[in-house]
Amino acid sequence: MRHDGRENEQAREMKLTVDYIKNIPGSVLVEQGDTRVLCTATYEPRVPPFLKFSGKGWVAAEYAMLPGATGSQRTQRERQKPNSRNIEIQRFISRALRTTFNLKTIDGKTIYIDTDVLQADGSTRCAAINGGMLALFKALRWLVYENLIRELPPIQWIAAISIGVKNNDILVDMTYPEDSGADMDINIVSSEKGDIVEAQVFCEGKPLAKDIFQKVIDLGIEKNLEIISTLKKVGG
């Protein structure tokens, strides 16, 4: 039994509030235990220069922790002073979300997914992907409604889960205290078909055994399918 009463393979309850911010194409507040992440999707009728005349659109994400997200001590806003961690995470989120539909269907357009951590207690990047997926879906429906694209493109839903290993125990959806003390931290992004989109493995002190890694991957896919089912129900 873990410090919050969960079993090792039990994820925290996830609450999703859509349209949390009004008058934009998509917004979702993700509450996952004590982690809170606000995800918004906005639209711009242009693409980065490297995609000009490519026939494709683009999805870009930003990730930042708000000054009080990690406790009583204020931290500097990351967008004023980007660091390697939040740059790595926003690339992680961007790559994952760009696999969900054919970018040619939004030719000449960019959808921005902003993920702001209001309160952090572990698994913030995974919560950002889950909320970002739902915000992206809402934005694509908004583009159809506004006659900016002809129809909703086929979407391959994805979800993300963090799984830790501590003394060979597998812990799903770690809180910050669990994360900071784990031997391994694995972030798994997978699709509704069960395909792996991203897998990040961080080991502290010793390598991860192959058989445990396989168990983690299988469990991550299983948990992500449950999250995807929830996202699709909330998305409507």
**28, 39 contact by CB (below 8 A):** yes
Measured between alpha carbons, how far is 93 from 108 in angstroms, rounded to an integer? 21
Tell me how many degrees the CA angle 156-161-166 measures, rounded to the nearest 5: 155
Q: What is the pLDDT along the chain (236 residues), one digit of tens a residue?
A: 788 889 999 999 999 999 999 999 999 999 999 999 999 999 999 999 999 999 999 999 999 988 777 765 666 665 556 678 889 999 999 999 999 999 999 999 999 999 999 999 999 999 999 999 999 999 999 999 999 999 999 999 999 999 999 988 999 999 999 888 888 999 999 999 999 999 999 998 788 899 999 999 999 999 999 999 999 999 97
- Where does residue 108 rank: exposed (0-12), middle (13-18), buried (19+ CB within 10 A)? middle
Tell me the CA distances in angstroms from 58 to 26, 121, 159, one per residue in order.
16, 31, 20
**What is 14-235's CATH number?**
3.30.230.70
Burial of 121-145, coded b for 16+ CB within 10 Å and e otherwise, reads bbbbbbbbbbbbbbbbbbbbbbbee
Measured between alpha carbons, how far is 9 from 126 in angstroms, rounded to an integer? 16
pTM: 0.93
